[in-house]
Amino acid sequence: MQAASRLKIGISACFMHADPQRALFTGKTLQYVEQSIAHWVMSTGALAVMIPSPGGATQRGDVTLDHYAQWLDGLVLHGGADVSPLSYGEQPLQERWVGDKIRDEYEIDLVAAFERQGKPVFGVCRGLQLLNVAYGGTLYQDIETQVPRSLRHRDAAVYDKNFHGVEIVAGSRLAALYPGAQRLRVNSIHHQAVKDLAPEFEIEAVSHDDGIVEAIRRRDASRPFLAAVQWHPEFHLPGTDPAAIDDAALLEDFLAAAAAALPKLSK
């Protein structure tokens, strides 16, 4: 397949903010993508492109997030630092949950740019939480603190091999992607979660054990594609857990939406 015919999918950047105590890149801000998410996007032939944030007052040149949204065919928001409670009108319950408001603002602007272009957005883990906040929802700052008798959704000892079951909402698009399946087995690496769902979305899956929201999608299918999962499909590698779902259907659904938008944009 020629490069010109491949879908170009943007991936939002993770931030490592300037730290004068860091031995490497001392005092410099780094922006990067985690390798597995790029490989997942590329697994069906799409091109993965990291989208850096504009430089604000220090920016050189006139490139904006809208330029990237015009050029690319879709956007993936991936995992990383906590969403800041300040981004949804709350104060952090603990200092360690302050999150990354700078990244929040960048990604909210990025989602808005792709929305203006009518192009699809898919969120993974933090990406689900960011989408919910961007459209008016709120989060649990820490599941174990705020949800009594909750499942342990993040276990540092096993990290991406922490698996649990999720229940699919009947009649949802997710149910259509996995016909005949009522429960999926997925990995779980998060301590934040949806508290108040944004009006724009509907729930497509919840944790079997405690009802934590695990998948959301925009209610209005006539509007640009917005969907997200709380788990990490990019970590579902062969042999990791034989019972875990095949996440290819999620990626194909998102890429199909990107491909479907192309003729509309060229008219």
Catalytic residues: 125, 232, 234
Q: What are phi and psi of 12, to 5 degrees?
A: -65, 150
Give the whole-angstrom CA distance, residue 152 versus residue 174. 24
Look at the alpha carbons of 146, 147, 148, 152 in this order and tell me if their dihedral is positive or negative.
Answer: negative
- Token pair for residue 152? 């342990």
Residue in this structure with the two tokens 């203006």, named with its chain if needed: 116
Report the phi/psi class of residue 180: left, alpha or beta, with left for phi > 0 and alpha for psi in -120 to 50. left
Residues 214 and 207 sit within 8 Å (Cβ to Cβ): yes
Angle between helix axes 126-134 and 101-116 (nearest 10 degrees) is: 70
CA-CA-CA-CA dihedral for 240, 212, 222, 53, to nearest 10: -70
Whole-number Cα distances in Å, 41 to 5, 11, 57, 178, 183: 16, 9, 32, 20, 25
Q: Rounded distance, CA 78 to CA 13, Å?
A: 8
Tokens of 253: 């659904």
Angle ∠(146,169,204) on CA atoms, nearest 5 = 65
For 26, counting Cβ atoms within 10 Å of its Cβ (0-12 exposed, 13-18 middle, 19+ buried), the class is exposed
